[in-house]
A and B are shown apart, each in its own frame.
Chain A
Amino acid sequence: MSKSEANVVVFACNWDGLSSVEAVAQAGLSYPASVKVVRVSCLSRLHQGLILKAFELGADGVMLLGCEPGKCQFDTDPALITQECEKARKLMRLLGLKEERLVLTHVPRGDGSHFVGRVTSFIAEIGQMRSAVPGGA
Chain B
Amino acid sequence: MTRGVAVIGSSAGAAQAALTLAELGVEVKLITPSAALSLVDITEGAAVTSSEELLGIWPLFLRAASHPLVTLYTNSEVMAIEGKQGRFTIRATKYPRYVREDLCTGCGRCEEACSVQVPLLFDGRRVSHSAIHAPVLGAKTVPSAYYIEKKGVAPCRAACPLGINVQGFVSLLSKGKVDEALRLINEAAPLAGVLGRICTHPCEDNCKRGEVDSPVFIHALHRYAADNAPGGINYKRKAAAGYRREKIAIIGSGPAGLTAAWELARRGYSPTIFESHAVVGGMLATGIPRFRLPWEVRYREVEAIKALGVDIKTGVTVGRDVTISDLRERRYRAFFLAIGAHRSNKLNIPGEDLEGVVDGMSLLFALNMKVGAFVGSNIVVIGGGNSAVDSARAANRRSKGQVRIIYRRTAEEMTAVREEVEDAIREGISIEYLTAPVEILGDGNKVAGIRCQRMVMGEMEADGRRRAEPIPGIEFVIDADHVVVAIGQQPNTSLLNMRWLDVDSDNDTIKVDTLTLETGIPGIFAGGDCITGSNNVVDAVAAGLRAAESIDRYLRGRDLRRGRSREKPQVVEVDIRERDVSYYKRARMHAIPISRRMGNFEETNLGLPGEVVEREAGRCINCALCSECMECERVCELNAVFHKDSVCQVGIPAEIVIDFTTDDNGTNSYIRRREIAQSAPLQFTRPGIYKVDTGEGELTRASAIALKAAIELKSRELPRPKETDIAGVPDVYLEQTREEAEPASLGETRVGVVLCRCGGSISSVIDCNQVTNEVLQLPGVCNVLEISQACNEEGASMIVAQAAEWDLDKVVLAACRCCGLEQICFSCTDRRVMCQQNLSRGLPLGYDRNIEFVNIREQCAWVHQDDPVGATRKAIGIISSGVARARGSLAAASEERPVAEGVLVLGAGLCGLAAARNLADQGYSVEVISGPESDSATEQHSLEYVRRRDTLLKELEEQGILVRQWPQVLDLDGSPGSYEVVVKYQSQTSRSGAGAVILDIGQLTGEMPAGDGVIPRENLLGRILAHRRCSDAPNGGDTAALKSSAMKETAGIFIISTDAEDLPEEQVLKGAAVAARASAYIGQGVVSPRANAVTINSKLCRGCGDCAAICPYIEMKERGGGIACAYVDQALCLGCGACIAHCPTGAITQATQSNQQIIATLEALLGRAPIMVEVS
Known A1-B867, A2-B867; contact A109-B56, beta-carbon cutoff 8 A: yes
CB proximity to B under 8 Å, residues A38-82: 38-42, 44-47, 49-50, 53-54, 57-59, 70-77, 80
User: Which of B827, B866, B871 has its CB near the most chain A CB atoms (within 10 A)?
Assistant: B827
Give every chain A residue within 8 A of B919 (Cβ-Cβ): none
| B860 and chain A: residue at smallest CB distance | A33
Bound CA–CA A33/B875 (angstroms):
9
Using a Cβ–Cβ cut-off of 8 Å, how many residues does chain A contribute to the interface with B?
A: 54
Given the known inter-chain contacts A41-B1137, A46-B1141, A70-B1033, please indicate yes or no for A108 contacting B1162, CB distance below 8 A: no
Is there contact, CB below 8 Å, between B1162 and A57?
A: yes
B827 touches A50 (CB 8 A): no
CB of B50 to closest CB in A, whole Å: 8
Q: Does A14 contact B (CB under 8 A)?
A: yes
Given contacts A30-B863, A34-B870, contact A19 B825 (CB under 8 A): yes
Tell me if B1030 is interfacial: C-beta within 8 Å of chain A: yes
Which listed residue (B862, B1035, B1158) contacts A75, Cβ 8 A? B1035
Which residue in chain B gives the minimum CB-CB distance to A23? B51
- Give the CA-CA distance A102 to B1166 in the complex, in Å: 16
In the complex, are the beta carbons of B1153 and A40 less than 8 A apart?
A: yes
**B874 interfacial contact with A, CB 8 Å:** yes
B811-842 contact mask (Cβ, 8 Å, vs A): 1 or 0: 00000001100010111000000000000000
What's the Cα separation between A16 and B825 when bound, in Å?
Answer: 9
- Check B1168 against A57 for contact (C-beta < 8 Å): yes
**Known contacts A18-B826, A47-B1142, A110-B51: A36-B1136 contact under CB 8 Å:** no
Q: B residues 1107-1165 with Cβ under 8 Å of A?
A: 1110, 1134-1138, 1140-1142, 1150, 1152-1153, 1155, 1158-1159, 1161-1163, 1165
Mostly, the A contact residues are loop
Residues from chain A with a CB closer than 8 A to the CB of B313 are: none
Query: Are A77 and B859 in contact (CB-based, < 8 A)?
Result: no
Is A32 an interface residue, CB under 8 A from the partner? yes
Contact yes or no, A33 B825, CB < 8 A = no
State whether A70 touches B1141 (Cβ < 8 A).
no
Contact A84 B1141 (CB under 8 A): yes
- Kindly list chain A residues whose C-beta atoms are within 8 Å of the C-beta of B708: none
- In the complex, A25 has a CB within 8 A of chain B: yes
Shortest distance from the beta carbon of B647 to any chain A beta carbon, whole Å:
31
Interface size class of B (residues with CB under 8 A): 35 or more
B960 close to A (CB within 8 Å): no
Question: Is A111 an interface residue when CB atoms closer than 8 A count as contact?
Answer: yes
Known: A45-B1140, A76-B1138. A16 touches B826 (CB 8 A): yes
B826 and A41 contact, CB distance less than 8 A: no
Interface centre among B857, B862, B873, B1158 (most CB of A within 10 A): B1158
Q: Which residue of A lies closest to B1042 (CB)?
A: A73
| B51 with A22: CB separation less than 8 A | no
> A132 within 8 Å of B by Cβ?
no
User: Quick one: CB contact mask for B998-1042 with A, threshold 8 Å, 1 for yes?
Assistant: 000000000000000000000000000001101111010000000
The reply to whether the CB of B1092 lies closer than 8 angstroms to some CB of chain A is yes
Give B854-879 as 1s and 0s: 1 = Cβ < 8 Å from A's Cβ atoms.
00011110111111011101100100
Q: Is B1046 an interface position by the 8 A CB rule?
A: yes
B1033, B1136, B1155, B1158: the one contacting A44 at CB < 8 Å is B1136
- Is B461 close to A, CB under 8 A? no
Q: Is A123 located at the chain interface by the 8 A CB criterion? A: no
Q: In the complex, which residues of chain A have a beta carbon less than 8 angstroms from the beta carbon of B1167?
A: 58
**Is A103 an interface residue when CB atoms closer than 8 A count as contact?**
no
A25 touches B1033 (CB 8 A): no
Interface residues of B in 101-145 (CB under 8 A from A): 138-140
- State in angstroms the CA–CA spacing of A43 and B16 once bound together: 30
Contact B869 A30 (CB under 8 A): no
Given A16-B826, A41-B1136, residue A27 in contact with residue B1165 (CB < 8 A) = no
Which of A14, A33, A76 is close to B864, meaning CB atoms less than 8 Å apart? A33
Contact assessment for A58 and B1166 in the assembled complex, using a CB-CB cutoff below 8 Å = yes
Name B1030's contact: one of A1, A25, A77 (CB within 8 Å).
A77
Instruction: State whether the Cβ of B1043 lies closer than 8 Å to any Cβ in chain A.
Output: yes
Give A118 Cβ to nearest chain B Cβ, in Å: 14
- Distance in angstroms from A66 CB to nearest chain B CB is 11
Would you call A95 an interface residue if the criterion is a C-beta within 8 Å of the partner chain's C-beta atoms?
Answer: no
Instruction: Contact check, B1141 vs A45: say whether CB atoms are below 8 A apart.
Output: yes
A50 touches B857 (CB 8 A): no
In angstroms, Cα B741 to Cα A31, docked, is 40
Cα distance A126–B863 when bound, in Å? Answer: 21
Residue among B826, B1032, B1159 with max Cβ neighbours from chain A (10 Å): B826
The answer to whether B858 touches A22 (Cβ under 8 A) is: yes
Contact B1035 A50 (CB under 8 A): no
- Tell me if A131 is interfacial: C-beta within 8 Å of chain B: no
Q: Tell which of B867, B1032, B1140 touches A70, judged by Cβ atoms closer than 8 Å.
A: B1032
Interface membership of B55, Cβ < 8 A: yes
Given known A44-B1136, A45-B1153, A76-B1138, contact A22–B1159 (CB-CB < 8 A): no
A16 to B52, alpha carbons, bound, how many Å? 9
CB distance from B816 to the nearest CB of A (A): 9
Nearest Cβ in chain A — how far from B820, in angstroms?
12
The verdict on B1047 contacting chain A, using a C-beta distance below 8 Å, is yes
CB < 8 Å neighbour of B1137 from A15, A44, A108: A44
CB pair B140 A47 closer than 8 Å? no
- Extra contacts, 9 of them, besides A2-B870, A77-B1031 (Cβ < 8 A), are A1-B867, A18-B825, A19-B826, A38-B1161, A45-B1140, A58-B1167, A59-B1166, A109-B55, A110-B826
What would be 30 A-B contacts, judged by CB atoms less than 8 Å apart? A1-B867, A1-B869, A1-B870, A2-B873, A2-B874, A14-B825, A18-B825, A19-B827, A21-B827, A26-B140, A30-B863, A32-B870, A33-B864, A33-B871, A33-B874, A36-B877, A41-B1136, A50-B1158, A54-B1166, A57-B1166, A58-B1166, A59-B1162, A70-B1032, A72-B1033, A74-B1138, A75-B1028, A76-B1031, A80-B1138, A80-B1141, A80-B1142
Chain A residues within CB distance 8 Å of chain B = 1-2, 7, 9, 14-16, 18-19, 21-27, 29-34, 36-42, 44-47, 49-50, 53-54, 57-59, 70-77, 80, 84, 108-111
Q: Which residues of B contact A (CB under 8 A)?
A: 51-52, 54-56, 138-140, 818-819, 823, 825-827, 857-860, 862-867, 869-871, 873-874, 877, 1027-1028, 1030-1033, 1035, 1043, 1046-1047, 1092, 1110, 1134-1138, 1140-1142, 1150, 1152-1153, 1155, 1158-1159, 1161-1163, 1165-1168
